[in-house]
Amino acid sequence: MSQQTVLVINCGSSSLKFSLINPTNGEVSISGIAERLASPEAFIKISFNNEKSVIALSAPFDHQIALQYLVEFLNKHDLTKQVSAIGHRVVHGGESYSQPTLINSDVKNSIASLAQLAPLHNPVNLIGIEAAEQAFPELKQVAVFDTAFHQSMPEKAFIYGIPYQLYKEQGIRKYGFHGTSHYFVATQAAKALDKPLAEFSGITAHLGNGCSICAIDNGESVDTSMGLTPLAGVVMGTRSGDIDPSIIFHLINQLGYSADEVDTLLNKQSGLLGISQMSNDCRTIEDAIINDNNVQANLTMDIFCYRIAKTIASYMAAISHFDALVFTGGIGENSDLIRERVGRSLALLNIKIDADKNSAVRFGKAGSIHEQGSQACLVIPTNEELVIAMQTQQLIEQGE
Ligand code: AMP
């Protein structure tokens, strides 16, 4: 009997990531990415049976063409019948969506109207949904929202200190992102500690190109560092994270920046890149510290780790008990240096990182990195695609 799989789609403005996942055992039969969409250099990379094929896309070089190539590939390898549904990562679900949702025209309309809050993401997510509807007209499509897990936050965590009607009338509040990842690693952490998710409380740190920290109390998100948009919170690859909002007026009124220039500065030229003046990639900054003892690289890393540690410590105000600190994301899963520096600042929370364990748990491994007698610190590789596949399958089965 053939295994049912879910096609998981994650659309960016010039890319479309996909994987065909068996939601029961997590097996990935096909994965890949279409890149440089909207340009004549557009191509699609497909990994299947340990082989990678790279195919140039034809005009109009868009998301639709990329999916047509994928459909042809699935047909050629007799895999189309195994696809039971399609799960889409959608960035912003606003207050309307706290659960995975079967896509229909109303849902598409509300994803479109939420583009006001996520102009860079929701419109391209919608392009992916519509391209998939055309490529797989007979299949059900499910939206899994990045904001959904954080819908359990209490008002005291999500209301900003600005006039309340801006929340009531315009939806300006903290939403939080990376929800699927925080949910996944919290679930895995609870399993590792042998308790149900509903009894797990702790802090999850998703540290990648974008970084966010989440306070989880008895299985629910109760606070998180990103806000109305993914610009808020800790310092990231190119994003500033939290700054004094008056810096924006200073840039505009005193230094002559336009609003768009400030937007670019804070989203694309700040963070690790802006401080180090070297790179947004942690590996480059770490190399500069280890090989050259570079002063600017050291300062960048100190700022990055201090801000993460400070946020983790502040979340002690949000949770009722503290089972574990969990690291995930490209940096959290791989950088023992950053985990060690973050841990060093949290000694008063009885966090003590074991150097040998810390250097051993990298490159896709999961494990604990704390000394005996310390608060539990875990490294758990995230798997947002698997969550999307599982939630999609679950919803489809409920509807049958
Ligand atoms: P993500 O957005 O989760 O894919 O994470 C991407 C980031 O992870 C990259 O920009 C790197 O900064 C970081 N990263 C990946 N591998 C390593 C590594 N071995 N050591 C330190 N940082 C890493």
**Residue 188 near residue 196 (C-beta atoms within 8 A):** no
Delineate the domains of the chain, giving CATH numbers in brackets. 5-145 (3.30.420.40), 194-384 (3.30.420.40)
Nearest-CA residue for atom 17 of ligand 1 = 334
pLDDT digits (tens, 9 = 90+) for 58-107: 999 999 899 999 989 998 998 888 999 999 999 999 999 999 999 999 99
pLDDT of residue 120: 81
Distance CA 90, CA 268 (A): 22
The single-letter DSSP state of residue 97 is: -
pLDDT digits (tens, 9 = 90+) for 240-250: 999 999 999 99
For range 250-276, the mean pLDDT: 97
Whether the CB of 45 sits within 6 Å of ligand 1: no
**Which of 239, 283, 358 should be mutated for ligand 1, with most atoms under 8 A from CB?**
283
pLDDT digits (tens, 9 = 90+) for 116-164: 888 888 999 999 999 899 989 999 999 999 999 999 999 999 999 999 9
Classify residue 261 as exposed, middle or buried by CB count within 10 Å of its CB (0-12, 13-18, 19+).
Answer: middle
Q: What is the 362 CA–ligand 1 centroid distance (Å)?
A: 11
- Residues found in the chain: 400
Strands lying side by side in the sheet with 16-21: 51-56, 43-48, 28-35, 16-21, 5-11, 83-90, 140-145, 101-102
Nearest-CA residue for atom 20 of ligand 1 = 335
Q: Can you read off the two tokens belonging to residue 335?
A: 């950088």
H or E stretch including 203?
strand 202-207
Q: Which atom of ligand 1 lies nearest, measured to the CA of 286? A: 21
pLDDT digits (tens, 9 = 90+) for 266-276: 999 999 999 99
The CA–CA distances, whole Å, from 363 to 19, 197, 330, 331 equal 20, 26, 9, 10
Whether the CB of 4 sits within 6 Å of ligand 1: no
Whether the CB of 381 sits within 6 Å of ligand 1: no
User: Which residues are known to be catalytic?
Assistant: 146
Q: Which atom of ligand 1 lies nearest, measured to the CA of 209? A: 2
Q: What is the largest CA-CA distance in the chain?
A: 69
At a CB cut-off of 8 Å and minimum separation 6, what does 182 contact? 149, 150, 204, 206, 212, 214, 216, 221, 224
Whether the CB of 331 sits within 6 Å of ligand 1: yes
Give which of 51, 67, 80 is closest to 139, Cα–Cα. 80
Give which of 305, 240, 243, 304 is closest to 271, Cα–Cα. 240
pLDDT of residue 400: 63
Whether the CB of 272 sits within 6 Å of ligand 1: no
The single-letter DSSP state of residue 281 is: -
pLDDT digits (tens, 9 = 90+) for 355-395: 999 999 999 999 999 999 999 999 999 999 999 999 999 99
